[in-house]
Structure 1
Amino acid sequence: MINQNVTKRPVRIGLQLQPQHMDYATIRRVASKAEELGADILFNWDHFYPLYGEKDGLHFECWTMLAAWAESTSRVEIGALVTCNSYRNPELLADMARTVDHISDGRLILGIGSGWFERDYAEYGYEFGTAGGRLDDLATALPRIESRWGKLNPPPTRKIPVLIGGGGEKKTLRLVAKHADIWHSFADADVLEHKLGVLHGHCETVGRDPAEIEVSVEIGGSTDPKDGDRFRELGASLFTVGVGGPDPDLGPLREWLAWRDATNE
């Protein structure tokens, strides 16, 4: 199942600079280097503790970092992959996003998801609840965020792109169909093909052209950009490399950027 309209999108390469196991000077240096190399998007993530390695290792908060990146970079788009909906009131999150949008001169992407890392919830005093309940909360929050953007003075500099991460077929992909400009999947190519079929069904139900939604995929630390060819055939156009501390290796990013340039020729 290949959506020819989507495959016409140029390839973009993101870097998820995981804010763990390194000091901020290293994070700032690597972020600047990624922009210099030509990355299209610079992501962090929204957690309070490392996701792997030393569980109490160095770690920094998401949105204060995005504001800093808005000042320390000048071209690359920035965002979280992804913000946890549970951690902030939707109106506050909308205002934070609008502010970072202005600081960055219109380079923010609002990546958002329903949350899953129980330690964050337990140690910071949020109710963990159930996966279904957290998705229901996200469904309620998204229109509130959109509504708040229409009330803020000044308004956002542009229609802030909304990226929704996850692949749940009943709830998450329906939210993608209704609200997302970008859908981020963690699936392999075979699973992605199936999920795209489900997403297209939801788009038909809500009356939306699926070609309006950019397909984003996680490529982790892969060093073989040919792995992207199959994703590209399915319509993916945003490919994100992940790196963390203590000494982030940008070698895979360089390989994927070269693949992007060759593919977009």
Structure 2
Amino acid sequence: MTTPARVAVQIQPQHADYAQIRRAVAAAEEAGVDVVYNWDHFFPLSGEPDGKHFECWTMLGAWAEATSRVEIGALVTCNSYRNPELLADMARTVDHISDGRLILGIGAGWFERDYNEYGYEFGTAGSRLNELSEALPRITSRWEKLNPKPTRDIPILIGGGGEKKTLRYTAEYASIWHGFGDAETLAHKRDVLDRWCGEIGRDPAEIERSAGVSGSPDEVAEGMVAAGITQFTVGVSGPDYDLAEVRDWIDWRDDHNKQLTAS
């Protein structure tokens, strides 16, 4: 890997008051992370199912004002929850509020409770992926029509590993791919994504490769790097938002990038 590594943290908006979330975001930026994500759900994904939880995009607007350096985004927005043109406008607005630091993370959606309790049609995995494929060109088209336009080509992050659809959409639209699994799985998905890029005539190097990490970088970083991952995301949950593991990854990133520069 010759691309510098980046470290992200997912501040999971669950089991905490907003003041605790805001402090965690500030601490992560101060520690030196490159990206701060939340997620797009309406209920906790772990712990007490009916515990405290906050909405994604209103929070991103607040983070845009509360931070000054880090990129921000959702890991990931559920395509089902908002009209694509509305989502495009929301993203454009947060892009401007943040002075060009928004990443539009998006996926097809999967958490059935969100759908049932908020009145969205759950459908099937296939139907949700088809809706995502219809939404992506509508989002990019709307950006061209808005006044003012986004401050930059907003990076689109697509999360998922489906080889027939998700990775094809990633090759067509994304600047960042976020995968799941161990190093061996990620390496396989990387190769599939590269093949889709070849089919549409896109340089695979244009797509940053991202994955969630857990544990010491001394134990897992080497395999992830070999799989092509350059963005490493640590998830932390409320109410404590312990950033100790995040700081370990920041130290590893700094050493790794120094070695790249030296070589």
Where on the TM-score scale, by shorter chain, does this alignment land: which range?
over 0.9
Q: Evaluate the alpha carbon distance shift between residue 124 and residue 194 of structure 1 in structure 2; reply closer, same or farther with a 3 A threshold.
A: same
Q: SS of 2:178's equivalent?
A: strand
Partner of 2:222: 229
- Distance in 1, Cα, partners of 2:206 & 2:219: 26
Q: Evaluate the alpha carbon distance shift between residue 113 and residue 225 of structure 1 in structure 2; reply closer, same or farther with a 3 A threshold.
A: farther
Q: SS of 1:258's equivalent?
A: helix
- Distance in 2, Cα, partners of 1:224 & 1:79: 24
Mapping for residues 1-265 of structure 1, pairs under 5 Å: 7-220=1-214, 222-265=215-258
Partner of 1:3: none
Q: Give the percent of matched residue pairs that are identical in Structure 1 and Structure 2.
A: 66
| Structure 1 spans left out of the alignment, 5+ residues | 1-6
Q: Which amino acid aligns with 1:81?
A: L
1:182 Cα deviation after fit: 0.2
Q: Taking structure 2 as the reference length, what is the TM-score of the superposition? A: 0.97
1:132 Cα deviation after fit: 0.4
1:236 Cα deviation after fit: 1.1
Matched-pair contact (CA < 8 Å) for 1:225–1:255: no
1:224 Cα deviation after fit: 3.6
- Aligned alpha-carbon RMSD (Å): 0.8
Q: Taking structure 1 as the reference length, what is the TM-score of the superposition? A: 0.96
Q: SS of 1:243's equivalent?
A: strand
Matched-pair contact (CA < 8 Å) for 2:187–2:228: no
Q: Evaluate the alpha carbon distance shift between residue 93 and residue 112 of structure 1 in structure 2; reply closer, same or farther with a 3 A threshold.
A: same
Q: SS of 2:230's equivalent?
A: strand
1:254 Cα deviation after fit: 0.5
- Distance in 2, Cα, partners of 1:178 & 1:131: 20
1:225 Cα deviation after fit: 4.2
Cα deviation 1:243-263 (Å, max 9, x = unaligned): 001211100000000000000
- Distance in 2, Cα, partners of 1:78 & 1:197: 28
